[in-house]
Amino acid sequence: MSEERQFDNFDEHAVDYRETHDKVIKISGADSDYFSEYKIVEILKYEDANKSLNILDFGCGDGNSSVYIRKHFANANISGTDVSEASVDIAKNKKISNAFFKAYDGTILPFEDNHFDVVFTSMVFHHIEHKLHEGILNEIKRVLKKGGRFYNFEHNPNIPLTRKVVRECEFDKDAVLLKPSYNKKITNQSGLKTESLNYTLFFPRYKLFKIFLGLEKMLTWCPLGAQYYIRAIK
C-alpha cells in the first residue's frame, strides 16, 4: 500500500462502478442493486420507517444506497457525502427526492453537530487508511444526535471467498479489510456504544439456495457470514 494513500480514489471508477461491481460479484448470484438494498432492509429491523428521520449516507458513492433508503424510508431526510466528487455528481444526477449530496475533504463532515438520527455506511472503512478511522468516527459521533444510531457494514475478512472477491475487484486493490473485533474496538473507543454485531450473507443468492435464505435471520451470531455490520448508539 502506498504511504500516501489515505482514501482510495473512486473518481476514476465512478462512471463504470456498477458495471465493474456486477462482474466481480456475479459469483454470488446477485447484482449490485441487491446488495445495496439488503443493507437498508437490515436497518429496518431496528428503525421506524414511518418517522421523519435525518439519515446520513456516509461514503455515499454514486448514491445507490440512497435510492433504497428513499424506497424504504419514505419520510426520511437524506444527506450523502463522499470524498469522490465524481461519484457525488452522479448521485446528484439521480435526483432522489429530498436527498442532498455533498463532497467533503475527508476530515470534517460538512454538517452541524447533533443533526442526524442515523448514520449509515456501506463498505467504506476498508477504503480508508486505518490511522484515519479514529478521526472519522469522532466526526460521525459529532454529527449524530444523542441516542442516534450508527450502522457500519463491512466485508468479513475471515471468509476465504470474501477475500477472493475483494482481491479480484479492480477498485478494492488497496483495500485492507476490517476484522469484526477491530471494528467493534475502534467504534467503542470513539465513544459510540456497540449494541450489536450481526453477520449476514451466509448462502449464495441463486434460486437453488432460496430455501436456505430464511435461516440467515437465525445465524446473525455466527461469524461465517460473508459480511457483517455493527450497530452503535451515541
In 3D space, the residue among 194, 199, 181, 200 whose CA is nearest the CA of residue 231 turns out to be: 194
pLDDT above 50 for 4: no
pLDDT tens digits, residue range 140-193? 999 999 999 999 999 999 999 888 888 877 767 778 999 999 999 999 999 999
Domain 11-233, classified CATH 3.40.50.150, yes or no: yes
> Residue 30: left if φ>0, alpha if ψ -120 to 50, beta else—which one?
beta
pLDDT tens digits, residue range 54-65? 999 999 999 999
Q: Which residue has the cell 504511504?
A: 3
Say what the pTM is: 0.91
